[in-house]
């Protein structure tokens, strides 16, 4: 955990088609080396995903997702690394947990697969409840809101309550507003400007804005996703200042530096050593 108190979740996409780094880490050994490097640079958690959820992407067979993900999860756990699995499939989540993962990061918040709740409830894993309205091939058409903050916070609160009623311990939940998922640029910025509403619900909050399209719109040359890292790091520091538990990022080095700067400023403000 960073000195700011905000955890860094390093993104490891073992996919051929993720929007930023698709194909770079398909090789198992390359994926593991990259993950170890992210930990060395300050990542607290590695989030391993085998299915792209970029806008317009198609689902992949569960068997292929597991072929990509599970060997990497095992290798990282064997190295003592805290692993999160990024999946909407209950069987993949279950297999990853058996392989040693300790967090399930489901971009649908458990809504895409009716068996996901049982998998989580029958484990001791933490579960990311993300705001979700539909799969990647249709989510841009679902970006319609009258009050984006109220609707997103309300939907996440309801989903968390459903899980708690089923027996989930509240401390195992992590909330995520789902930036970029069924949201236009203005919706994302409005949510980021009102993170206090989500933080006020109580459970830890995870923010995943790294290299996303709405960030790139602010950056000269932002069509190249790697050009978005500086802005993504600034955004991570601003989110940390609003009390979020974690940030999910591609570039760990710039994020760690930004969080350390934010923490130093806060220490100066409060007079702490």
Nearest-angstrom CA–CA distance, 15 and 22: 5
3-state per-residue secondary structure call for the chain: CCCCCCEEEEEEECCCCCCCCCCCCCCHHHHHHHHHHHHHCCCCEEEEECCCCCCCCCCCCHHHHHHHHHHHHHHHHHCCCCEEEECCCHHHHHHHHHCCCCEEEECCCCCCCCCHHHHHHCCCCEEEEECCCCCCCCHHHHCCCCCHHHHHHHHHHHHHHHHHHHCCCHHHEEEECCCCCCCCHHHHHHHHHCHHHHHCCCCCEEECCCCCHHHHCCCCCCCCHHHHHHHHHHHHHHHHHCCCCEEEECCHHHHHHHHHHHHHHHHHHHCCC
Catalytic annotation, residues: 212, 248
| Cα 119 to chain centroid, rounded | 19
Nearest-angstrom CA–CA distance, 129 and 242: 19
Tokens linked to 132 = 């979700």
């Amino acid at each position: 955990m960073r000195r700011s108190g905000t955890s860094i979740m390093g993104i490891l996409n073992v996919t051929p088609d993720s929007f930023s780094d698709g194909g770079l880490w398909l090789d198992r050994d390359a994926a593991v080396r990259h993950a170890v490097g992210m930990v060395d640079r300050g990542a607290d958690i590695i989030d391993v995903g085998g299915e792209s959820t970029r806008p317009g992407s198609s689902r992949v067979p569960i068997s292929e997702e597991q072929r990509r993900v599970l060997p990497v999860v095992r290798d990282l756990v064997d190295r003592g690394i805290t692993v999160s699995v990024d999946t909407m499939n209950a069987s993949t989540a279950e297999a990853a947990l058996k392989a040693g993962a300790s967090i399930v990061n489901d971009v649908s918040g458990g809504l895409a697969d009716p068996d996901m709740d049982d998998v989580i409830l029958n484990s001791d894993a933490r579960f990311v409840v993300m705001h979700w309205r539909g799969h990647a091939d249709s989510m841009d058409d679902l970006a319609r809101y009258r009050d984006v903050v109220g609707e997103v916070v309300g939907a996440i609160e309801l989903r968390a309550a459903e899980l708690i009623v089923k027996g989930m311990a509240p401390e195992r939940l992590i909330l995520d507003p789902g930036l970029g998922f069924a949201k236009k640029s203005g919706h994302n910025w409005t949510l980021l400007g009102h993170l206090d509403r989500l933080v006020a619900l109580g459970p830890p909050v995870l923010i995943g804005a790294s290299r996303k399209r709405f960030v790139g719109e602010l950056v000269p040359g932002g069509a190249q996703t790697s050009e978005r890292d500086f802005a993504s790091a600034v955004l991570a520091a601003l989110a940390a200042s609003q009390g979020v538990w974690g940030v999910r990022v591609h570039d760990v080095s710039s994020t760690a530096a930004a969080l350390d700067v934010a923490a130093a400023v806060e220490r100066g403000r409060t007079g702490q050593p």
